[in-house]
Amino acid sequence: MSFQPYGKVSILIAVATRWLTGEEQRAWRAYLEATLLLFDALDRELQREANMPHAYYEILVRLSEAHGRSLRMSELAERTRSSRSRLSHAVARLEERGWVVRRDCPDDRRGQVAELTDDGFAVLAAAAPKHVAAVREHLIDRLSPHQLSALAEIGDAVVAGLSER
Q: Does 40 bind a copy of itself (CB under 8 A)?
A: yes
Is 15 an interacting residue with respect to a copy of itself (CB under 8 A)?
yes
Q: Shortest gap between Cβ of 13 and DNA (angstroms)? A: 26
Output DSSP code: residue 81.
T
Q: Among residues 67 and 109, whose Cβ is nearest to DNA?
A: 109
Site size toward a copy of itself, by CB under 8 A: 69
Q: Phi and psi dihedrals of 115, rounded to 5?
A: -130, 135
Burial of 54: CB neighbours in 10 Å, binned 0-12, 13-18, 19+? middle
| Tally of CB atoms within 10 A around 94 | 24
Contact 90, 59 (CB under 8 A): yes
DSSP string, 94-157: HHHTTSEEEEE-SS-TT-EEEEE-HHHHHHHHHHHHHHHHHHHHHTGGGS-HHHHHHHHHHHHH
Find the binder of a copy of itself among 81, 84, 89, 103 (CB under 8 A): 81
Q: What's the closest the beta carbon of residue 98 comes to a copy of itself, in angstroms? A: 18
Kindly identify the residues of this chain, within the stretch 90-119, that bind DNA according to CB under 7 A. 90-93, 102, 105, 108-113
Considering the complex, what minimum distance in angstroms separates the CB of residue 50 from DNA? 11
* Per CB under 8 A, 1 contacts a copy of itself: no
Considering only CA atoms, which of 124, 104, 126, 127 is closest in space to residue 114?
104
x/- letters, 57..86, toward DNA (CB under 7 A): ---------------xxxx-x----xxxxx
- 102 contact, one of a copy of itself, DNA, none, CB 5-8 Å limit per kind: DNA
> Distance between alpha carbon 41 and the CA centroid of its chain, in Å?
14
Interface residues toward a copy of itself, by CB under 8 A: 2-6, 12, 14-15, 17-20, 23-24, 26-41, 60-61, 64-65, 81, 121, 124-125, 128-129, 131-133, 135-140, 142-143, 145, 147-163
